[in-house]
Chain A
């Protein structure tokens, strides 16, 4: 055990940046497990409609297709933001992030109105097992998106204030990763809940 050469201490600090990203990947693993459980619960309770309306009667193809389209586009624009980040173009970066946030808002808005219509049709979370599982699964995703919107807005404000520095770079990367992750989860919801529901 000798004295470490001074190089190490310096390396150490650079590591701290990649640490955050690694930690965030692991967090995403845990979030994946959360969604996996919710999907499993949904699969078990899918048939527990107790003679009430089923997915086929409740889901509106137009609505969930629009939601899917909007969320996928927002994932694309968040990718464009990352590109602008790497090119160091602050204004472009901010603009793409704003577009992403606006699309995300539209998605959440559509989802809320979809939920409201369903509740008006007498299909609420307390109606039966199937709907409980539906609302918790889709609602958890929606809450994740809403949280991401606030987070992204905070990042936008920070870019405006401090410009593009190492810290900001890391934050944009991480929030972008989160956004893509939610997109992937949505694709599963789209397939397992909506498509298989209306088929």
Chain B
């Protein structure tokens, strides 16, 4: 843990003091703002206790964008350090901490919540439902994520950051290798938010299976919903493995057990287990992105998606195959030729359904009347990027060759290409696409184009040189290198690219702020001439989403309805409102997650009594919930009618 984790507060680095000051000033600013404008009650009533999926989605979104910022700053610090040989901007210890927090935050606290934001915002609207299957659990999932992320980020100022890599392999991550609290922050931060993710997986699976509007057969379901279904199934099978693995690592560290230790345990078992979660995890995050691309391609080509059935089938295949490839992350373990061959083949096999999807997107665009809007731009940029990322992935899957590429910058370039080009581009495309549905206005085009181009050019400038660096022998997780290696020019170029992406992010922040004031209002609820049910209701959707639950007859049902409505013969029946059954809000999810935070914080510092007190709080919250009787209420017909009229939807 180096020089800086002796005391409770992290000290010794001007960067950290700067950050401390920034954090304190921001916190004070927020507190003063909330107090002066008397917003505490508002915050509690409207947000902290909400069980409305649309609001939960927005909270996920805000958190994930903040985490993208933090993860991005980490990335830029690393790129600065690597820009030139023999740089002394970061120490080796600090570099280790930063790549660890960068990787962990980007995957678990940026990609996952960004994905859950889109699940929450879109799924109920797209399947014609009024909420998710378990709204209370949904709120709990969010707050577990929130407090987990908070705990993890706290390591920056108290106790010291984890520094054993984003997957924290033992024996380094064991107590002997990492004696400070940093590693415990990692375990508890991920554990707490991971339980929330697991619950979300169950929640949305049941929502999709049970709450579709009448008539929406599974094979009439929009592809984004299908992608969420496949992602949820993968979550359900993968996340328990993560839970066990982290719990066992903690048992080792806390009780002195020997499960993964090098003497009496088996460290490679950890590596196997964590990748049994880790590989499916990358499909968990990319499948919904595939769903987003499908929606966007179809909407902006004004065509039904090409090969709907093969799209569904390939996603299901991917989520199954994704469970049988984990060993490709450590071909070098020495499991033997037969084992490596098996995993090389399964890995390459995933390329087939993925290729099918790429062709389907292309065929959908072929002869379509394409409009190049912002969501479409990101989708079009995704295709070549992911093709290259996939091809380098197949190169890595060739087990004997991987002995050369393993843990080199070739790998770093490969997985950033799939994670940024596939996942981040996809979520950003989805963000632009559904933004009007969330907030009732569009994001500014011109700033969006600037963001798009800086991000994209920056991406290639940053990561293409890294493929070359990999071939030149530069390994990952090195904090500096000498002139004699010949890596200097490529690294400099790469750093320039990283900063271009940073500028892209700034454009996006600016774009959002600018559009909040000047964005084009979406008065129709259907700004893109959409095809699926979410576009049939006002933007933003009212609390109950659908005043009357729609009856679905076709795939792309809203598109067909619009066609029917254009017909002069079309007669609209007056809507028959009924009282709407809604879940009541609750403060328990927030309080219970705060108790989990106490549990995590206590055990992180080895203060068992604090941890146990937290557990007691969790138990009391569970009991309080169990004893609650009235958990729902009805919105009366009059109120529904009034709301609909105020939204310009008079029956």
B91 lies within 8 A of chain A by Cβ: no
A157 to B629: give the CA distance in the assembly, Å.
13
Taken residue by residue from 25 to 55, chain B's Cβ proximity to chain A (1 for < 8 Å, 0 otherwise) reads as 0000000000000000000000000000000
> Is the pair A19, B134 in contact by a Cβ cutoff of 8 Å?
yes
Which A7-42 residues have C-beta < 8 A from chain B? 8-9, 12-13, 15, 18-20, 22-23, 26-27, 29-31, 33-34, 37-38, 41
- The residue of chain A having its C-beta at the shortest distance from the C-beta of B243 within the complex is A34
> Is the pair A1, B248 in contact by a Cβ cutoff of 8 Å?
no
Task: Among A12, A29, A157, find the residue whose CB has the most chain B CB atoms closer than 10 A.
Answer: A12
> Is the pair B240, A129 in contact by a Cβ cutoff of 8 Å?
no
- The residue of chain A having its C-beta at the shortest distance from the C-beta of B574 within the complex is A3
Instruction: Tally A-B pairs: CB < 8 A.
Output: 140
Which B229-264 residues have C-beta < 8 A from chain A? 236-237, 239-241, 243-245, 247-248, 251-252, 255-259, 261, 264
A41 to B248: give the CA distance in the assembly, Å.
10
A184 to B415: give the CA distance in the assembly, Å.
41
A48 lies within 8 A of chain B by Cβ: yes
> Is the pair B252, A129 in contact by a Cβ cutoff of 8 Å?
no
A128 lies within 8 A of chain B by Cβ: yes
Taken residue by residue from 523 to 560, chain B's Cβ proximity to chain A (1 for < 8 Å, 0 otherwise) reads as 00000000001001000000000001111110001101
Neighbouring A residues of B239 by C-beta, 8 Å: 30
Neighbouring B residues of A150 by C-beta, 8 Å: 619, 623
> Is the pair B206, A135 in contact by a Cβ cutoff of 8 Å?
no
B273 lies within 8 A of chain A by Cβ: yes
Known interface pairs A33-B241, A37-B240; A22-B209 also in contact (CB < 8 Å): yes
> Is the pair B210, A9 in contact by a Cβ cutoff of 8 Å?
no
B213 lies within 8 A of chain A by Cβ: yes
A87 lies within 8 A of chain B by Cβ: no
B198 lies within 8 A of chain A by Cβ: yes
Determine which of A18, A19, A129 lies in contact with B265 in the assembled complex, contact meaning CB atoms within 8 Å. A129
B488 lies within 8 A of chain A by Cβ: no
Neighbouring B residues of A199 by C-beta, 8 Å: none
A121 lies within 8 A of chain B by Cβ: no
Neighbouring B residues of A26 by C-beta, 8 Å: 202, 205-206, 236
- The residue of chain A having its C-beta at the shortest distance from the C-beta of B205 within the complex is A26
A15 to B209: give the CA distance in the assembly, Å.
11
Chain B: minimal CB distance from A14 (Å): 11
Neighbouring B residues of A9 by C-beta, 8 Å: 549, 578, 580-581
Neighbouring A residues of B203 by C-beta, 8 Å: 23
B7 lies within 8 A of chain A by Cβ: no
Chain A: minimal CB distance from B570 (Å): 11
Chain B: minimal CB distance from A5 (Å): 8
B269 lies within 8 A of chain A by Cβ: yes
Neighbouring B residues of A20 by C-beta, 8 Å: 134
A187 lies within 8 A of chain B by Cβ: no
Neighbouring A residues of B243 by C-beta, 8 Å: 34
Neighbouring B residues of A98 by C-beta, 8 Å: none
A34 to B247: give the CA distance in the assembly, Å.
11
> Is the pair A136, B551 in contact by a Cβ cutoff of 8 Å?
no
Could you tell me how many residues of chain A have their Cβ less than 8 Å away from some Cβ of chain B? 47
Taken residue by residue from 140 to 160, chain B's Cβ proximity to chain A (1 for < 8 Å, 0 otherwise) reads as 000000000000000000000
> Is the pair A4, B550 in contact by a Cβ cutoff of 8 Å?
yes
A65 lies within 8 A of chain B by Cβ: no
> Is the pair B240, A31 in contact by a Cβ cutoff of 8 Å?
yes
> Is the pair B581, A12 in contact by a Cβ cutoff of 8 Å?
yes
B483 lies within 8 A of chain A by Cβ: no
Task: Among B202, B257, B261, B629, find the residue whose CB has the most chain A CB atoms closer than 10 A.
Answer: B257
Task: Among A4, A12, A18, A128, find the residue whose CB has the most chain B CB atoms closer than 10 A.
Answer: A4
A192 lies within 8 A of chain B by Cβ: no
> Is the pair A30, B581 in contact by a Cβ cutoff of 8 Å?
no
B648 lies within 8 A of chain A by Cβ: no
B266 lies within 8 A of chain A by Cβ: yes
A6 lies within 8 A of chain B by Cβ: yes
Determine which of A8, A12, A37, A126 lies in contact with B244 in the assembled complex, contact meaning CB atoms within 8 Å. A37
A45 lies within 8 A of chain B by Cβ: yes
Known interface pairs A8-B214, A23-B134, A132-B252; A45-B259 also in contact (CB < 8 Å): yes
> Is the pair A126, B619 in contact by a Cβ cutoff of 8 Å?
no
> Is the pair A1, B210 in contact by a Cβ cutoff of 8 Å?
no
A22 to B208: give the CA distance in the assembly, Å.
12
> Is the pair B133, A162 in contact by a Cβ cutoff of 8 Å?
no
Neighbouring B residues of A34 by C-beta, 8 Å: 240, 243-244
> Is the pair B259, A136 in contact by a Cβ cutoff of 8 Å?
yes
> Is the pair B257, A30 in contact by a Cβ cutoff of 8 Å?
no
- The residue of chain A having its C-beta at the shortest distance from the C-beta of B276 within the complex is A37
A6 to B134: give the CA distance in the assembly, Å.
23
Chain B: minimal CB distance from A149 (Å): 12
A172 lies within 8 A of chain B by Cβ: no
B575 lies within 8 A of chain A by Cβ: yes
Neighbouring A residues of B244 by C-beta, 8 Å: 34, 37-38, 41
B626 lies within 8 A of chain A by Cβ: yes
> Is the pair A23, B133 in contact by a Cβ cutoff of 8 Å?
yes
A37 to B261: give the CA distance in the assembly, Å.
17
- The residue of chain B having its C-beta at the shortest distance from the C-beta of A153 within the complex is B623
B484 lies within 8 A of chain A by Cβ: no
Which A140-174 residues have C-beta < 8 A from chain B? 150-151, 154-155, 157-158, 162, 167, 171
A181 to B202: give the CA distance in the assembly, Å.
18
- The residue of chain B having its C-beta at the shortest distance from the C-beta of A9 within the complex is B578
B338 lies within 8 A of chain A by Cβ: no
**Could you list 13 further interchain pairs (A-B, Cβ under 8 angstroms) beyond the known A1-B561, A136-B248?**
A1-B536, A1-B558, A3-B548, A3-B551, A4-B549, A15-B210, A23-B134, A23-B203, A30-B236, A50-B264, A128-B264, A129-B259, A129-B266
Can you list 29 A-B contacts (CB < 8 A)? A1-B536, A3-B576, A4-B549, A6-B576, A8-B214, A12-B549, A19-B210, A20-B134, A22-B209, A23-B133, A26-B202, A26-B236, A27-B202, A30-B202, A37-B245, A37-B273, A41-B259, A41-B273, A48-B264, A125-B256, A128-B258, A129-B258, A132-B264, A135-B257, A136-B247, A136-B259, A150-B619, A151-B626, A154-B623
